[in-house]
Structure 1
């Protein structure tokens, strides 16, 4: 009888150890036993900085924009014509922009270093204008784009004195809000609430 009880206790102990190693039993572990790898409290800190004015809504949304959609489109040599790849990227930009009518944008046109500086300023402007007109054609209000600027060859992505496809580009940037936000005006809260409601809305597909 003593032997049976000993085996029973050994079996119970092994089951207890198995339970501790099972991730589904993590809630039974001692509070604070997990290692904080540096992320704890970041969300609270972020919201506090936003509402206190230490970071702006434009900064927050700029990071989102660059993380969620491509901000650049490229062009053929000496051209301001949007190809299909460029149009696909701009459709993505337009879809993102329509979600956030509070925001305003700037479009910068760039060229490579082939040709004169004066010619490249004009070419960069034509490229920026082409992007602006396409975004407007995708139902982005013209007054959402507050500047269309040419940088010409002055800000290359890759340092090169010759033909460089990566430098023949436009860049879309968030420049700010439709109006200056006060510290506690709830702009970001309204954006998050709108996204939350939209994410919970059932999508009906017509047959």
Structure 2
């Protein structure tokens, strides 16, 4: 072996050792399989694909858009308050009347604040506002199983970007979030079930039942 060949082999060996050392220092390399814990999103892609295939996700999106078009989805609050005024209660009664038509569907209420106050305080206040809305909807006969007040954006998503008091930022927003798996009328094909019921209702004469029926009211206690 020539001196040049020997130097090349020594150089390659050193490079290999450097790469192994770098791999060992990495957070992923050199660890046994399963060392990295799932952060909770591992099955999201499969779940999303399943919902798209069976129609659930598309219908939730469509129903959410319809809800936003047909009823006011937002109520606002006085400064530093989670109390519902007369205007907010009237809006929530409209929401409740709409929600009763779809006993298979869940809704989520998001609480917001303006930018006055600390982030921690505003997050608590946003949650209190969301909980006030859920309580009022429940008092209108909507099952709490169908209502969530688990997310508070606090001050992080203002409608109007200002550091001053702004009522439009002190709000809650109600949105469609999914299906109620335990509801007795939910079948394997939830999408087909709801679509069929709405199709039959749309064929009723204008002088007939245009709102909810007593049977529907009784299913949502």
Q: TM-score range by the shorter chain?
A: 0.5 to 0.7
TM-score when normalising by structure 1: 0.67
CA distance in 1, matches of 2:65, 2:71: 10
Q: What residue in structure 2 maps to residue 125 of structure 1?
A: 127
Superposition pairs of residues 17-166 of structure 1, within 5 angstroms: 53=55, 56-166=58-168
Q: What residue in structure 2 maps to residue 189 of structure 1?
A: 196
Q: Is the 8 A contact 1:51 1:184 kept in 2?
A: no
CA distance in 2, matches of 1:118, 1:190: 45
Shift >3 Å, 4+ stretches:
50-55, 179-186, 194-200
TM-score when normalising by structure 2: 0.63
Offset, 1:149: 1.9
Q: Is the 8 A contact 1:106 1:147 kept in 2?
A: yes
Residues 102 and 184 from structure 1, CA distance in 2 versus in 1: closer, same or farther, beyond 3 angstroms?
Answer: closer
RMSD of aligned C-alpha atoms? 2.6
Instruction: State the number of aligned residues.
Output: 154
- Long gaps (5+) in structure 2: 1-51, 211-221
CA distance in 1, matches of 2:179, 2:57: 14
Secondary structure of the 2:109 match is strand
CA distance in 1, matches of 2:198, 2:75: 27
Q: Is the 8 A contact 1:127 1:170 kept in 2?
A: yes
